A = this chain, B = another copy of it.
């Protein structure tokens, strides 16, 4: 069984502003450790998968950055999507590319900017997932056991009857993919059980993906065929024109929620999508007062604060639930429960034409 991970590295990551910028989105930042998230994403695979089997997909500019961070990754594995059109076009292209190489290979679609704390468990699950994808000709997804009624994730509703087993791991039949719910709905999901968070990680055999696309994603299958032809002919201009036409849609909408026989297994490996600065309050080690910092910091009568300011002494006095993020050209001071408003801020800067801050 050949497992070929495709690391999706096309994200923008505006919520880590001012550290993240258009030219330096989250996956290229050393947020969790002193290495970038994409480096961590690749390196955690290496006990199981040789580097030569790892693919990335992103735009051309990001591909250059990827090559600089991962110089030993084969250049031909750094795939380029001609246009940013969400995950369906991107994963169709990556799977088509792999299909031409080995239609029996199992593709593992992985976001470049997620945290996984229990790597041995993750690798065990990944291997079992790949085996399930192969044995059952299924689309597989990792569902994260929800720890609170989040309204920020999609949910996967599954049956707890007769799971398929691969070794010790169980794979449940997916009943329905559900969009980001209201708080009320989310609370109901948690009470009901059998709902997990959609992690955006998927596994499939390349030829199974092709068949499922043909069967369930009629809007997209013609693009698959065109991509196969363009890839065979090494026709970049052709790919560009395909990406001009193809609808911008997530793989969840385009295929996963339409296909039959999708399986979900528990993603019980310390996952976090590290969605915003506030999520680091749960990830970075904290002091007794709940404060956490990168960079020399002094907290006086402060609780539950986060500082990112590697270059400078930061003093926080008399504050609660505040994060402070400083970069060379910008400083953000934000209440932890208001970090979704950082997007408003970036829009304001865009409207003002302050491209240097975007």
Binding site for B on A (CB under 8 A): 18, 298, 300-301, 309, 312-319, 322, 324, 326, 329-335, 337-339, 341-342, 344-345, 348-349, 354, 357
Contact between B317 and A357 (Cβ–Cβ < 8 Å)?
no
Chain B residues lying within 8 Å of A324, measured Cβ to Cβ, are 331, 333
**Copies of this subunit:** 2
Nearest residue (CB) in B for A327 is: B312
With contacts A298-B345, A344-B300 known, is A334 near B319, CB below 8 A?
yes
With contacts A18-B315, A322-B322, A341-B317 known, is A309 near B334, CB below 8 A?
no
Closest CB of chain B to A205's CB: distance in Å? 46
Nearest residue (CB) in B for A338 is: B318
Bound form: Cα–Cα A335–B303 in Å: 12
Bound form: Cα–Cα A349–B296 in Å: 12
Contact between A318 and B331 (Cβ–Cβ < 8 Å)?
no
Shortest Cβ-Cβ A-B pairs, 3 listed: A318-B338, A318-B335, A317-B334
Contact between A315 and B330 (Cβ–Cβ < 8 Å)?
yes
Chain B residues lying within 8 Å of A315, measured Cβ to Cβ, are 18, 330-334, 342, 345
Contact between A335 and B319 (Cβ–Cβ < 8 Å)?
yes
Chain B residues lying within 8 Å of A342, measured Cβ to Cβ, are 315, 317
Chain B residues lying within 8 Å of A333, measured Cβ to Cβ, are 314-317, 319, 322, 324, 333
Chain B residues lying within 8 Å of A300, measured Cβ to Cβ, are 338, 341, 344-345, 348
Sample of 6 A–B contacts (CB below 8 Å): A309-B331, A313-B357, A314-B331, A317-B345, A318-B338, A322-B322
Bound form: Cα–Cα A298–B333 in Å: 10
Chain B residues lying within 8 Å of A345, measured Cβ to Cβ, are 298, 300, 315, 317
Contact between B301 and A338 (Cβ–Cβ < 8 Å)?
yes
Contact of A331 among B326, B329, B354 (CB under 8 A): B326
Closest CB of chain B to A349's CB: distance in Å? 8
Contact between A339 and B317 (Cβ–Cβ < 8 Å)?
yes
Chain B residues lying within 8 Å of A298, measured Cβ to Cβ, are 345, 348-349
Closest CB of chain B to A190's CB: distance in Å? 27
Contact between B348 and A330 (Cβ–Cβ < 8 Å)?
no
Closest CB of chain B to A112's CB: distance in Å? 26
With contacts A298-B348, A300-B344, A345-B300 known, is A313 near B329, CB below 8 A?
yes
With contacts A298-B345, A338-B301, A345-B298 known, is A331 near B313, CB below 8 A?
yes
Bound form: Cα–Cα A48–B345 in Å: 50
Chain B residues lying within 8 Å of A331, measured Cβ to Cβ, are 309, 312-315, 324, 326, 331
